[in-house]
Protein backbone atom coordinates (compact mmCIF):
# COMPACT_ATOMS: atom_id res chain seq x y z
CA UNK A 1 0.00 0.00 0.00
CA UNK A 2 1.23 3.47 -0.79
CA UNK A 3 0.03 6.88 0.33
CA UNK A 4 0.68 9.65 -2.18
CA UNK A 5 -1.08 12.92 -2.96
CA UNK A 6 -3.58 12.14 -0.24
CA UNK A 7 -4.63 8.79 -1.76
CA UNK A 8 -3.80 5.18 -1.05
CA UNK A 9 -2.63 3.15 -4.03
CA UNK A 10 -2.74 -0.53 -4.82
CA UNK A 11 1.04 -0.87 -5.10
CA UNK A 12 3.83 0.85 -3.19
CA UNK A 13 4.95 3.97 -5.05
CA UNK A 14 8.13 6.06 -4.80
CA UNK A 15 8.01 9.70 -3.63
CA UNK A 16 6.24 12.15 -5.99
CA UNK A 17 4.50 9.28 -7.70
CA UNK A 18 2.11 9.49 -9.46
CA UNK A 19 3.26 12.82 -10.88
CA UNK A 20 1.09 15.80 -10.02
CA UNK A 21 1.00 16.99 -13.62
CA UNK A 22 -0.83 14.23 -15.47
CA UNK A 23 -2.53 14.17 -18.84
CA UNK A 24 -5.94 12.55 -18.31
CA UNK A 25 -6.93 10.52 -21.40
CA UNK A 26 -10.12 11.42 -23.24
CA UNK A 27 -10.96 7.79 -24.06
CA UNK A 28 -13.77 6.29 -21.99
CA UNK A 29 -12.19 2.85 -22.09
CA UNK A 30 -8.63 1.58 -22.36
CA UNK A 31 -7.14 -1.86 -22.98
CA UNK A 32 -4.87 -4.20 -21.02
CA UNK A 33 -3.13 -7.09 -22.75
CA UNK A 34 -3.83 -10.68 -21.65
CA UNK A 35 -2.27 -14.05 -22.36
CA UNK A 36 -5.63 -15.83 -22.30
CA UNK A 37 -9.31 -15.22 -22.89
CA UNK A 38 -9.97 -14.75 -19.19
CA UNK A 39 -8.16 -12.50 -16.73
CA UNK A 40 -6.85 -12.87 -13.19
CA UNK A 41 -5.52 -10.39 -10.65
CA UNK A 42 -1.95 -11.07 -11.84
CA UNK A 43 -2.78 -9.64 -15.25
CA UNK A 44 -2.99 -6.19 -13.65
CA UNK A 45 0.30 -6.29 -11.80
CA UNK A 46 2.85 -3.61 -12.63
CA UNK A 47 6.21 -4.54 -14.15
CA UNK A 48 7.89 -3.92 -10.82
CA UNK A 49 5.59 -6.34 -9.01
CA UNK A 50 6.11 -9.00 -11.65
CA UNK A 51 9.90 -8.64 -11.93
CA UNK A 52 11.08 -7.18 -8.65
CA UNK A 53 14.82 -7.01 -9.37
CA UNK A 54 14.70 -5.56 -12.89
CA UNK A 55 16.27 -2.20 -13.67
CA UNK A 56 13.86 0.38 -15.12
CA UNK A 57 14.58 3.95 -16.17
CA UNK A 58 11.61 5.35 -14.23
CA UNK A 59 10.48 3.66 -11.04
CA UNK A 60 7.15 5.47 -10.97
CA UNK A 61 6.26 4.25 -14.49
CA UNK A 62 7.50 0.76 -13.63
CA UNK A 63 4.88 0.68 -10.87
CA UNK A 64 2.01 1.74 -13.11
CA UNK A 65 -0.36 -0.48 -15.03
CA UNK A 66 0.28 -0.05 -18.74
CA UNK A 67 -2.80 0.40 -20.95
CA UNK A 68 -3.39 1.04 -24.64
CA UNK A 69 -5.88 3.55 -26.01
CA UNK A 70 -7.24 1.29 -28.75
CA UNK A 71 -7.40 -2.29 -29.92
CA UNK A 72 -5.39 -1.24 -32.99
CA UNK A 73 -2.57 -0.17 -30.67
CA UNK A 74 -2.82 -3.52 -28.82
CA UNK A 75 -2.58 -5.41 -32.11
CA UNK A 76 0.50 -3.38 -33.06
CA UNK A 77 2.20 -3.86 -29.70
CA UNK A 78 1.90 -7.65 -29.66
CA UNK A 79 3.68 -7.80 -33.03
CA UNK A 80 6.86 -6.21 -31.68
CA UNK A 81 9.78 -8.63 -31.26
CA UNK A 82 9.83 -8.07 -27.46
CA UNK A 83 6.13 -8.68 -27.09
CA UNK A 84 5.96 -11.72 -29.39
CA UNK A 85 7.92 -13.58 -26.70
CA UNK A 86 5.29 -12.65 -24.09
CA UNK A 87 2.54 -14.40 -26.08
CA UNK A 88 -0.28 -11.93 -25.55
CA UNK A 89 -3.43 -13.05 -27.35
CA UNK A 90 -6.29 -10.97 -25.94
CA UNK A 91 -7.05 -7.54 -24.50
CA UNK A 92 -9.52 -6.55 -21.82
CA UNK A 93 -11.40 -3.28 -21.55
CA UNK A 94 -10.79 -1.04 -18.52
CA UNK A 95 -13.06 1.95 -17.86
CA UNK A 96 -11.08 5.17 -17.64
CA UNK A 97 -12.63 6.85 -14.61
CA UNK A 98 -10.89 9.32 -12.31
CA UNK A 99 -12.51 7.57 -9.32
CA UNK A 100 -10.43 4.47 -10.08
CA UNK A 101 -6.98 5.94 -9.81
CA UNK A 102 -4.55 8.35 -11.45
CA UNK A 103 -4.23 8.16 -15.23
CA UNK A 104 -1.52 9.64 -17.39
CA UNK A 105 -1.49 9.51 -21.19
CA UNK A 106 2.17 9.80 -22.17
CA UNK A 107 1.72 8.98 -25.87
CA UNK A 108 -1.19 9.01 -28.31
CA UNK A 109 -1.63 5.25 -27.93
CA UNK A 110 -0.47 4.61 -24.34
CA UNK A 111 -1.65 5.37 -20.80
CA UNK A 112 -0.12 4.71 -17.37
CA UNK A 113 -2.59 3.88 -14.59
CA UNK A 114 -1.95 3.90 -10.83
CA UNK A 115 -5.07 2.25 -9.33
CA UNK A 116 -6.34 3.31 -5.92
CA UNK A 117 -6.17 0.79 -3.12
CA UNK A 118 -9.96 0.41 -3.15
CA UNK A 119 -9.93 -0.79 -6.76
CA UNK A 120 -10.09 -4.45 -7.74
CA UNK A 121 -9.09 -4.43 -11.42
CA UNK A 122 -10.69 -7.79 -12.17
CA UNK A 123 -14.06 -6.52 -10.97
CA UNK A 124 -14.05 -3.41 -13.15
CA UNK A 125 -12.62 -5.11 -16.25
CA UNK A 126 -15.04 -5.25 -19.17
CA UNK A 127 -15.22 -7.28 -22.35
CA UNK A 128 -12.30 -9.31 -23.65
CA UNK A 129 -11.31 -9.12 -27.32
CA UNK A 130 -9.30 -11.65 -29.31
CA UNK A 131 -6.36 -9.81 -30.87
CA UNK A 132 -6.24 -12.26 -33.76
CA UNK A 133 -9.96 -12.05 -34.41
CA UNK B 1 29.47 4.27 -35.23
CA UNK B 2 26.71 6.86 -35.06
CA UNK B 3 25.45 9.21 -32.41
CA UNK B 4 21.68 9.42 -32.25
CA UNK B 5 19.11 11.17 -30.09
CA UNK B 6 15.68 9.80 -29.24
CA UNK B 7 13.11 12.15 -30.74
CA UNK B 8 9.95 10.41 -29.59
CA UNK B 9 8.40 7.07 -28.77
CA UNK B 10 5.92 5.83 -31.33
CA UNK B 11 4.64 2.78 -29.47
CA UNK B 12 5.10 1.47 -25.98
CA UNK B 13 3.64 -1.02 -23.57
CA UNK B 14 5.37 -1.08 -20.22
CA UNK B 15 8.58 -0.29 -22.11
CA UNK B 16 9.23 1.67 -25.31
CA UNK B 17 8.71 -0.68 -28.27
CA UNK B 18 9.23 1.55 -31.31
CA UNK B 19 11.19 4.80 -31.23
CA UNK B 20 12.09 7.56 -33.62
CA UNK B 21 15.64 8.89 -33.39
CA UNK B 22 17.59 11.45 -35.33
CA UNK B 23 21.21 12.05 -36.11
CA UNK B 24 23.02 15.39 -35.90
CA UNK B 25 22.53 15.99 -39.61
CA UNK B 26 18.78 15.53 -39.22
CA UNK B 27 18.42 12.02 -40.67
CA UNK B 28 15.60 10.06 -39.03
CA UNK B 29 15.96 6.48 -37.76
CA UNK B 30 13.18 4.08 -36.90
CA UNK B 31 14.14 2.01 -33.86
CA UNK B 32 12.80 -1.31 -32.63
CA UNK B 33 13.33 -2.57 -29.07
CA UNK B 34 14.10 -6.29 -29.34
CA UNK B 35 15.39 -7.30 -25.87
CA UNK B 36 16.95 -6.18 -22.61
CA UNK B 37 20.59 -5.12 -22.73
CA UNK B 38 23.23 -4.79 -20.04
CA UNK B 39 22.61 -1.12 -19.36
CA UNK B 40 19.30 -0.39 -21.09
CA UNK B 41 17.02 -1.77 -23.82
CA UNK B 42 18.59 -3.11 -27.01
CA UNK B 43 17.30 -1.29 -30.07
CA UNK B 44 18.19 -1.50 -33.73
CA UNK B 45 17.66 1.49 -35.96
CA UNK B 46 17.01 1.76 -39.67
CA UNK B 47 17.32 5.06 -41.51
CA UNK B 48 13.95 6.20 -42.80
CA UNK B 49 13.09 8.91 -45.29
CA UNK B 50 10.56 11.56 -44.29
CA UNK B 51 8.13 10.48 -47.02
CA UNK B 52 8.22 6.91 -45.65
CA UNK B 53 7.81 8.18 -42.10
CA UNK B 54 4.67 9.99 -43.20
CA UNK B 55 3.41 6.75 -44.73
CA UNK B 56 4.18 4.94 -41.45
CA UNK B 57 2.32 7.59 -39.45
CA UNK B 58 -0.70 7.38 -41.72
CA UNK B 59 -0.64 3.55 -41.42
CA UNK B 60 0.00 3.02 -45.13
CA UNK B 61 3.06 0.92 -44.38
CA UNK B 62 3.89 -1.18 -41.33
CA UNK B 63 7.07 -1.33 -39.24
CA UNK B 64 8.16 -4.63 -40.81
CA UNK B 65 8.06 -3.12 -44.31
CA UNK B 66 9.84 0.05 -43.19
CA UNK B 67 12.79 -1.79 -41.67
CA UNK B 68 13.13 -4.47 -44.33
CA UNK B 69 11.97 -3.39 -47.80
CA UNK B 70 12.74 0.28 -47.29
CA UNK B 71 16.00 -0.24 -45.44
CA UNK B 72 19.23 0.99 -46.97
CA UNK B 73 22.78 0.91 -45.63
CA UNK B 74 23.59 -0.55 -42.24
CA UNK B 75 21.42 -1.16 -39.21
CA UNK B 76 22.54 0.83 -36.17
CA UNK B 77 22.45 -1.15 -32.92
CA UNK B 78 22.56 0.50 -29.52
CA UNK B 79 21.36 0.40 -25.94
CA UNK B 80 18.99 3.15 -24.86
CA UNK B 81 16.11 3.63 -22.43
CA UNK B 82 14.02 5.50 -24.94
CA UNK B 83 13.56 8.82 -23.13
CA UNK B 84 13.00 11.73 -25.54
CA UNK B 85 16.21 13.73 -25.81
CA UNK B 86 18.38 10.81 -24.67
CA UNK B 87 21.63 10.60 -26.63
CA UNK B 88 23.34 7.29 -27.34
CA UNK B 89 25.96 5.71 -29.55
CA UNK B 90 25.36 2.89 -32.00
CA UNK B 91 27.40 0.41 -33.99
CA UNK B 92 26.65 -0.41 -37.61
CA UNK B 93 25.73 -3.97 -38.63
CA UNK B 94 24.73 -5.27 -42.02
CA UNK B 95 22.36 -7.89 -40.57
CA UNK B 96 19.72 -7.77 -37.88
CA UNK B 97 20.01 -9.94 -34.75
CA UNK B 98 18.12 -13.26 -34.96
CA UNK B 99 14.39 -13.22 -34.16
CA UNK B 100 14.36 -9.46 -33.88
CA UNK B 101 11.91 -8.62 -36.64
CA UNK B 102 8.38 -7.51 -35.77
CA UNK B 103 5.52 -9.47 -37.31
CA UNK B 104 3.99 -8.07 -40.50
CA UNK B 105 0.92 -5.94 -39.86
CA UNK B 106 2.45 -3.81 -37.12
CA UNK B 107 0.73 -0.59 -38.08
CA UNK B 108 1.28 2.15 -35.52
CA UNK B 109 -1.89 4.10 -34.78
CA UNK B 110 -2.22 7.53 -33.25
CA UNK B 111 0.49 9.50 -35.05
CA UNK B 112 -1.22 10.60 -38.25
CA UNK B 113 -1.80 14.36 -38.39
CA UNK B 114 -5.51 14.92 -38.04
CA UNK B 115 -7.42 16.90 -40.60
CA UNK B 116 -9.56 19.57 -39.04
CA UNK B 117 -12.07 19.40 -41.87
CA UNK B 118 -12.58 15.68 -42.40
CA UNK B 119 -15.81 13.88 -41.57
CA UNK B 120 -17.24 10.42 -41.96
CA UNK B 121 -19.41 10.22 -45.07
CA UNK B 122 -21.33 7.18 -46.19
CA UNK B 123 -22.47 5.85 -49.56
CA UNK B 124 -25.16 3.19 -49.35
CA UNK B 125 -24.65 0.39 -51.87
CA UNK B 126 -27.00 -2.20 -53.25
CA UNK B 127 -27.35 -4.67 -56.11
CA UNK B 128 -24.52 -6.75 -57.49
CA UNK B 129 -21.06 -5.16 -57.47
CA UNK B 130 -18.20 -6.64 -59.42
CA UNK B 131 -14.54 -6.10 -58.57
CA UNK B 132 -14.33 -3.69 -61.47
CA UNK B 133 -17.14 -1.64 -59.88
CA UNK B 134 -15.09 -1.13 -56.74
CA UNK B 135 -12.11 0.02 -58.79
CA UNK B 136 -14.16 2.26 -61.06
CA UNK B 137 -16.24 3.75 -58.25
CA UNK B 138 -13.13 4.43 -56.16
CA UNK B 139 -11.38 6.09 -59.11
CA UNK B 140 -14.40 8.30 -59.76
CA UNK B 141 -14.64 9.31 -56.09
CA UNK B 142 -10.92 10.02 -55.97
CA UNK B 143 -10.92 12.13 -59.14
CA UNK B 144 -14.00 14.12 -58.14
CA UNK B 145 -12.60 14.57 -54.64
CA UNK B 146 -9.27 15.82 -56.00
CA UNK B 147 -10.89 18.38 -58.25
CA UNK B 148 -13.39 19.43 -55.60
CA UNK B 149 -10.53 19.88 -53.16
CA UNK B 150 -8.63 22.06 -55.62
CA UNK B 151 -11.74 24.11 -56.36
CA UNK B 152 -12.48 24.74 -52.71
CA UNK B 153 -8.86 25.66 -52.10
CA UNK B 154 -9.34 23.63 -48.95
CA UNK B 155 -5.66 23.15 -48.29
CA UNK B 156 -2.67 25.08 -46.98
CA UNK B 157 -0.60 27.52 -49.02
CA UNK B 158 2.17 25.11 -50.00
CA UNK B 159 -0.19 22.45 -51.33
CA UNK B 160 -2.37 25.07 -53.02
CA UNK B 161 0.64 26.34 -54.97
CA UNK B 162 1.50 22.81 -56.08
CA UNK B 163 -2.08 22.09 -57.09
CA UNK B 164 -2.37 25.35 -59.00
CA UNK B 165 0.84 24.62 -60.87
CA UNK B 166 -0.69 21.37 -62.14
CA UNK B 167 -3.43 23.26 -63.93
CA UNK B 168 -0.72 25.16 -65.83
CA UNK B 169 1.49 22.14 -66.43
CA UNK B 170 -0.88 19.95 -68.43
CA UNK B 171 -1.34 20.78 -72.10
CA UNK B 172 -4.93 19.48 -72.22
CA UNK B 173 -4.65 17.78 -75.57
CA UNK B 174 -7.05 15.07 -74.42
CA UNK B 175 -6.60 11.41 -73.43
CA UNK B 176 -3.85 11.03 -70.86
CA UNK B 177 -3.81 14.75 -70.08
CA UNK B 178 -6.88 14.44 -67.89
CA UNK B 179 -6.00 11.02 -66.43
CA UNK B 180 -2.59 12.23 -65.31
CA UNK B 181 -3.97 15.57 -64.22
CA UNK B 182 -6.43 13.98 -61.78
CA UNK B 183 -3.81 11.54 -60.49
CA UNK B 184 -1.36 14.33 -59.80
CA UNK B 185 -4.04 16.48 -58.23
CA UNK B 186 -4.70 13.72 -55.74
CA UNK B 187 -1.03 13.18 -54.98
CA UNK B 188 -0.73 16.81 -54.00
CA UNK B 189 -3.47 16.69 -51.40
CA UNK B 190 -1.86 16.50 -47.93
CA UNK B 191 -2.05 12.99 -46.44
CA UNK B 192 -4.36 13.99 -43.63
CA UNK B 193 -6.86 15.50 -46.07
CA UNK B 194 -7.00 12.60 -48.53
CA UNK B 195 -10.18 10.60 -48.82
CA UNK B 196 -9.85 7.29 -47.00
CA UNK B 197 -12.12 4.27 -46.77
CA UNK B 198 -12.89 3.38 -43.16
CA UNK B 199 -15.36 0.53 -43.67
CA UNK B 200 -16.88 -1.52 -46.47
CA UNK B 201 -19.94 -3.63 -45.76
CA UNK B 202 -21.03 -5.61 -48.78
CA UNK B 203 -24.65 -6.58 -48.28
CA UNK B 204 -28.03 -5.71 -49.74
CA UNK B 205 -28.11 -2.94 -48.67
CA UNK B 206 -24.49 -2.36 -47.65
CA UNK B 207 -22.36 0.71 -47.26
CA UNK B 208 -18.97 2.25 -47.88
CA UNK B 209 -17.83 4.60 -45.13
CA UNK B 210 -15.34 7.29 -46.13
CA UNK B 211 -13.30 9.74 -44.08
CA UNK B 212 -12.95 12.85 -46.18
CA UNK B 213 -13.23 16.62 -46.31
CA UNK B 214 -16.87 17.26 -45.49
CA UNK B 215 -17.25 20.36 -47.66
CA UNK B 216 -15.80 18.61 -50.71
CA UNK B 217 -18.03 15.56 -50.14
CA UNK B 218 -21.10 17.78 -49.79
CA UNK B 219 -20.29 19.62 -53.03
CA UNK B 220 -19.87 16.33 -54.94
CA UNK B 221 -23.15 15.07 -53.49
CA UNK B 222 -24.99 18.20 -54.67
CA UNK B 223 -23.47 18.09 -58.15
CA UNK B 224 -24.20 14.37 -58.60
CA UNK B 225 -27.78 14.78 -57.41
CA UNK B 226 -28.16 17.78 -59.72
CA UNK B 227 -27.00 15.75 -62.72
CA UNK B 228 -29.62 13.09 -61.96
CA UNK B 229 -32.51 15.55 -61.75
CA UNK B 230 -35.14 15.17 -64.50
CA UNK B 231 -34.50 18.52 -66.12
CA UNK B 232 -30.80 18.75 -65.44
CA UNK B 233 -29.19 21.16 -67.93
CA UNK B 234 -25.79 19.53 -67.38
CA UNK B 235 -26.05 16.81 -70.03
CA UNK B 236 -27.08 19.25 -72.79
CA UNK B 237 -24.40 21.71 -71.75
CA UNK B 238 -21.75 19.01 -71.86
CA UNK B 239 -22.87 17.91 -75.31
CA UNK B 240 -22.92 21.50 -76.59
CA UNK B 241 -19.42 22.28 -75.33
CA UNK B 242 -18.03 18.96 -76.54
CA UNK B 243 -19.49 19.33 -80.03
CA UNK B 244 -18.27 22.93 -80.20
CA UNK B 245 -14.69 21.88 -79.53
CA UNK B 246 -15.01 18.83 -81.77
CA UNK B 247 -16.31 20.84 -84.75
CA UNK B 248 -13.37 23.21 -84.47
CA UNK B 249 -10.91 20.32 -84.13
CA UNK B 250 -9.78 21.62 -80.73
CA UNK B 251 -10.44 18.54 -78.60
CA UNK B 252 -6.93 17.21 -79.11
CA UNK B 253 -5.19 20.58 -79.27
CA UNK B 254 -3.97 22.96 -76.60
CA UNK B 255 -3.90 26.75 -76.79
CA UNK B 256 -0.22 26.46 -77.75
CA UNK B 257 -1.24 24.61 -80.93
CA UNK B 258 -3.86 27.15 -81.96
CA UNK B 259 -3.60 30.87 -82.48
CA UNK B 260 -6.78 31.80 -80.64
CA UNK B 261 -8.24 35.09 -81.79
CA UNK B 262 -9.79 37.52 -79.34
CA UNK B 263 -13.21 36.43 -80.66
CA UNK B 264 -12.30 32.78 -80.00
CA UNK B 265 -11.27 33.64 -76.46
CA UNK B 266 -14.46 35.59 -75.91
CA UNK B 267 -16.62 32.74 -77.25
CA UNK B 268 -14.75 30.15 -75.20
CA UNK B 269 -15.04 32.23 -72.03
CA UNK B 270 -18.78 32.58 -72.61
CA UNK B 271 -19.04 28.84 -73.21
CA UNK B 272 -17.08 28.17 -70.02
CA UNK B 273 -19.46 30.32 -67.98
CA UNK B 274 -22.51 28.66 -69.55
CA UNK B 275 -21.11 25.19 -68.99
CA UNK B 276 -20.12 25.90 -65.39
CA UNK B 277 -23.58 27.30 -64.70
CA UNK B 278 -25.25 24.21 -66.13
CA UNK B 279 -22.98 21.95 -64.06
CA UNK B 280 -23.74 23.84 -60.85
CA UNK B 281 -20.28 25.39 -60.81
CA UNK B 282 -21.28 28.94 -61.73
CA UNK B 283 -19.45 30.38 -58.72
CA UNK B 284 -16.28 28.54 -59.68
CA UNK B 285 -15.99 29.58 -63.36
CA UNK B 286 -13.67 32.47 -62.62
CA UNK B 287 -11.57 30.37 -60.27
CA UNK B 288 -11.22 27.60 -62.87
CA UNK B 289 -10.17 30.18 -65.49
CA UNK B 290 -7.56 31.53 -63.04
CA UNK B 291 -6.29 28.02 -62.37
CA UNK B 292 -5.95 27.51 -66.13
CA UNK B 293 -3.82 30.69 -66.37
CA UNK B 294 -6.63 32.54 -68.10
CA UNK B 295 -6.77 30.02 -70.97
CA UNK B 296 -10.50 29.33 -71.54
CA UNK B 297 -9.81 26.34 -73.84
CA UNK B 298 -7.97 24.46 -71.07
CA UNK B 299 -10.55 25.61 -68.54
CA UNK B 300 -13.43 24.13 -70.56
CA UNK B 301 -11.57 20.88 -71.06
CA UNK B 302 -10.93 20.65 -67.31
CA UNK B 303 -14.61 21.23 -66.59
CA UNK B 304 -15.68 18.64 -69.18
CA UNK B 305 -13.26 16.09 -67.71
CA UNK B 306 -14.67 16.80 -64.24
CA UNK B 307 -18.21 16.45 -65.54
CA UNK B 308 -17.44 13.03 -67.08
CA UNK B 309 -16.34 11.81 -63.66
CA UNK B 310 -19.35 13.30 -61.89
CA UNK B 311 -21.54 11.68 -64.54
CA UNK B 312 -19.89 8.35 -63.75
CA UNK B 313 -20.85 8.72 -60.09
CA UNK B 314 -24.31 9.92 -61.07
CA UNK B 315 -24.77 6.73 -63.12
CA UNK B 316 -24.02 4.61 -60.05
CA UNK B 317 -26.71 6.56 -58.17
CA UNK B 318 -29.18 6.38 -61.09
CA UNK B 319 -28.87 2.61 -61.31
CA UNK B 320 -29.37 2.26 -57.54
CA UNK B 321 -26.01 0.59 -57.00
CA UNK B 322 -25.00 3.65 -54.98
CA UNK B 323 -27.60 5.50 -52.95
CA UNK B 324 -27.74 8.61 -50.79
CA UNK B 325 -24.19 9.38 -51.80
CA UNK B 326 -21.90 10.94 -49.15
CA UNK B 327 -24.55 11.34 -46.49
CA UNK B 328 -23.45 12.00 -42.90
CA UNK B 329 -22.55 8.93 -40.88
Q: Is residue A22 part of a domain?
A: no
* Chain A residues closer than 8 Å to B82 by CB: 57
pTM of the predicted structure, to 2 decimals:
0.73
The minimum CA-CA distance between B59 and chain A, rounded to whole Å, is 11
User: What is the predicted pLDDT for the residue at A67?
Assistant: 98
Q: Is residue A45 part of a domain?
A: yes
Asked if residue B39 lies in contact with residue B59, where contact means CB atoms within 8 angstroms, the answer is no
B244, B247, B251, B254 alpha-carbon torsion, rounded to 10°? -90
Q: Is residue A39 part of a domain?
A: yes
User: What is the predicted pLDDT for the residue at A49?
Assistant: 92
pLDDT for A83-109, tens place per residue?
999 999 999 999 999 999 999 999 999
Q: Is residue A109 part of a domain?
A: yes
Q: Is residue A19 part of a domain?
A: no
Cβ <8 Å between B109 and A70: yes
List CB contacts of B19: < 8 A, sequence separation 6 or more: B6, B7, B8, B9, B10, B30, B31, B33, B43, B80, B82
Distance between CA B215 and CA B192 in Å, rounded?
15
The minimum CA-CA distance between B211 and chain A, rounded to whole Å, is 17
Q: What is the ipTM of this complex?
A: 0.94
pLDDT for A107-128, tens place per residue?
999 999 999 999 999 999 999 9
**Domain span holding position A47:** 2-10+28-130
What does the domain layout of chain B look like in residue ranges?
2-93, 118-328
Q: Is residue A16 part of a domain?
A: no
- Among A80, A84, A108, the residue with its CB nearest the CB of B111 is A108
* Residues of chain B predicted below pLDDT 50: none
Q: Is residue A23 part of a domain?
A: no
pLDDT for A67-88, tens place per residue?
999 999 999 999 999 999 999 9
Q: Is residue A82 part of a domain?
A: yes
User: What is the predicted pLDDT for the residue at B222?
Assistant: 86
Distance between CA B193 and CA B114 in Å, rounded?
8
User: What is the predicted pLDDT for the residue at A5?
Assistant: 54
Cβ <8 Å between A80 and B101: no
User: What is the predicted pLDDT for the residue at B175?
Assistant: 59
The two counts, helices (H) then strands (E), for chain B are: 10, 10
Q: How many domains does chain A have?
A: 1
User: What is the predicted pLDDT for the residue at B173?
Assistant: 62
Amino acid sequence: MSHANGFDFLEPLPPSCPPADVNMPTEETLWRLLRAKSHTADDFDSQRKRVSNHKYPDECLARSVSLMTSLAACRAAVKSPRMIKMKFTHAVEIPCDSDLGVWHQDQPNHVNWWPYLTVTPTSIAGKVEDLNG
Amino acid sequence: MAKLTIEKILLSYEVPLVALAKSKNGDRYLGVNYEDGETAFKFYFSKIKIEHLKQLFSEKIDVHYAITKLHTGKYELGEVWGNPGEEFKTKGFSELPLDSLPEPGMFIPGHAPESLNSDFKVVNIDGQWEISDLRKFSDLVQDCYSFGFALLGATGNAATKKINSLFHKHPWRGGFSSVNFFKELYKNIPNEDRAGIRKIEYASPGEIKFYMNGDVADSIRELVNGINEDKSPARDAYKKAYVYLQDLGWLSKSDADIALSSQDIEALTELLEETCKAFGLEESAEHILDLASGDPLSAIKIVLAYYRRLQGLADYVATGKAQDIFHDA
